[in-house]
Amino acid sequence: MSAKRAVAVLLSGRGSNMVALAEAAARPDYPARIVTVLSDKADAPGLSRARALGLPAGVVARAQHPSKPAFEAALDAELRAAGAEFICLAGFMRLLSAAFLAGWHDRVLNIHPSLLPAFKGLSAQAQALAAGVRIAGCTVHIVRPEMDAGPIIAQAAVPVLADDSLDRLEARILAAEHRLYPRALALFCQGRVRLTDGRARVDAPTPAPTALYNPPAD
């Protein structure tokens, strides 16, 4: 296969999606490699998980910089020093500015635990439960300056069960995230995602034209 594309992962917390990406990237046939894992929090559990996987991991703390532009400049310098071509946000809890994203135009991906554009922002799973939806899920999209906005690359749907707790729904969505994010990144790194009129067109097999019913159809 052609050379693997260099990907950086940004996180603020436990890093479970980073692990899913790293495990996929360890496969010989996967089109990406993780060149660095960076966090804005020195105590993020994802950093130790990255190091346990043998990945370079470091901290660019917002508190150590006098302004958001200074923080983003330091972050940009670390990413470029690592040779990153693309960025995957994996629970990175900071909005990136338009100026930062201009330097990485259409090269930053994010995963969000809802079927965007529904339930943007924090606690998307709790928002889904409160709204009483019967189907929830997750979305991988190209990042724009607005929160949880940008062309959608891939989505996975999961049912919301009648007796669901927040913990159970979160776990079901997270399991889908761990499968979806590596698949979406692979398509992206293979050049199979094209942007047309603000939408992502994906060169992938057409899914079966079936519906997910909840409650199940008779």
CA separation for the pair 77, 69 (Å, rounded): 12
Respond yes or no: is residue 112 known to be catalytic. Answer: yes
Sign of CA dihedral 32, 35, 40, 43: positive
Q: Looking at 65, 105, 112, 178, which residue is catalytic?
A: 112
CA distances (Å), 209 to each of 181, 194, 205, 206, in order?
Answer: 22, 23, 12, 8
CA 43 centroid distance within chain: 20
CA separation for the pair 64, 9 (Å, rounded): 20
* Active site (catalytic) residues: 112
